Amino acid sequence: MTVDQRRVRLRERLEIIRARSEKSTSWRSTTRYLSKLINREGFVPIRTRLSQEDISFLAMARDDVIALTELGIRLVELHQPRDAGGISSDPDSPIRRCRACMWRWPCPTFRAVEDSVSR
């Protein structure tokens, strides 16, 4: 498999995860209410209606989250700062560059990961 084919395949997988996530129902507001209903056994007895999109999302959500967090961790480990060398006008704050892409630190890749996780 070529590098371009691998890139396209990864992009397609990420787009599928995003599409599946966007089609499913958000449980954010519901979880605040449901957390108050936890019984002695540690469960919440609920009845709900799930769409086909919700079921598809829930079926793959755990594996998708694990894969995406592994991707994020690998990107952060790969894109780390390093001293750029050379002479700096401020010896206490030397110019730093990303060890992977050599952009000034923080590099665009690190900023993109940080922005995505910070939302």
Tens-place pLDDT, residues 52-96: 988 888 888 888 888 888 898 999 999 998 877 666 667 777 788
**Residues contacting 75, CB < 8 A, separation 6+:** 109, 110, 113
Give the integer Cα–Cα distance in Å for 17 and 61: 9
The answer to whether position 74 is within a domain reads: yes
In a domain, 54, yes or no: yes
**Is 61 within a domain?**
yes
Q: pLDDT at position 48, please?
A: 82
Residue 90 lies in a domain: no
Residue 89 domain flag: no
pTM of structure: 0.66
SS3 25: coil
Inside any domain, residue 65: yes
Q: Is residue 103 part of a domain?
A: yes
Domain count, the chain: 1
- Residue 32's domain spans which residues? 3-83+96-118
